Amino acid sequence: MYDPDSDAYQQLTLLERAIADNATGIVLCPLDLEPIAPTMWEVRRARIPFVSQASNMGQYGGVQVLTDAALLGQVPGEYIGQLVADQFDGVAKVVVLTFDDLPDVKARADGMVDGLLKYAPNAEIVARVRGATPDWAQESIEALLADGVEFNVILTINDAGGFGA
C-alpha cells in the first residue's frame, strides 16, 4: 500500500513506484488527474488492473466505483439543516470544510450546502475552506478564528476534516 498523504506530487511518484514494483493491481483515489495522466496511460499499457472512485478516469480502463457525489453530500446536509432549524431557529453561520480541487468532492460539498439550505434557508455560509485532512481543517479553522470570522456550525466533507476542526 502506498499512501500519498493528500499530496498530489507524492501520489504521482508512488504510482510510478507501484509500476516499477510490478504491482498486480492498483486502487486509486486521485488527488489531481493532470499530473498522473501520463502515468495512468502507462498503467493501461502495462495492463495493471485498477479501481478508481473518480468519475473522470474512464479513458484509462479499469473499474470505476461511482456514487452520486451531490446526493452523498445532500443527505447529511439535510440532517444538519434540520438540526439548525430545530436548535437555532433556522439561523446559523456555517463554515464548509471541503477540497474543491477535486470535482467529486466539490459536488459533495455543494450537495451538503443544498441540503442544509433546504431546511435552514436562513443559514449563511460564512466561509468555504480547504479541510479534507485534519491538518488542513485545523489550519483553516485557526485562520478563520484569527480573522475574527464568527460561526457556529461546521459542515465537513469527511471525518478527517471534522477531527481537525
Give the Cβ contact number of residue 162 at 10 Å.
15
Domain 69-164 has CATH 3.40.50.300: no
Which of 21-25, 28-32, 138-142 is most confident? 138-142
Q: Where in the chain is the domain with CATH 3.40.50.2300?
A: 69-164
Q: How far apart are CA 38 and CA 94, in angstroms?
A: 39
Residue 154 has pLDDT above 90, yes or no: yes
Measured CA distances, 83 to 24, 77, 122, 161, 163 (Å): 47, 10, 13, 20, 20
Give the Cβ contact number of residue 157 at 10 Å.
27
Measured CA distances, 148 to 57, 76, 161 (Å): 41, 27, 20
Please give the model's pTM, rounded to 2 decimal places.
Answer: 0.76
Nearest to 158 by CA among 20, 26, 29, 34: 29
Provide the pLDDT confidence category of residue 20 given band limits of 50, 70 and 90.
very high
Provide the pLDDT confidence category of residue 150 given band limits of 50, 70 and 90.
very high
* pLDDT tens string 38-85: 998 998 889 899 888 776 777 777 777 778 889 999 999 999 999 999
**Average pLDDT of the chain?**
91
Residue 165 has pLDDT above 70, yes or no: yes
Angle between helices 69-87 and 103-119 (to 10 degrees): 30
pLDDT at 116: 98
* pLDDT tens string 104-136: 889 999 999 999 999 999 999 999 999 988 999
Provide the pLDDT confidence category of residue 103 given band limits of 50, 70 and 90.
confident
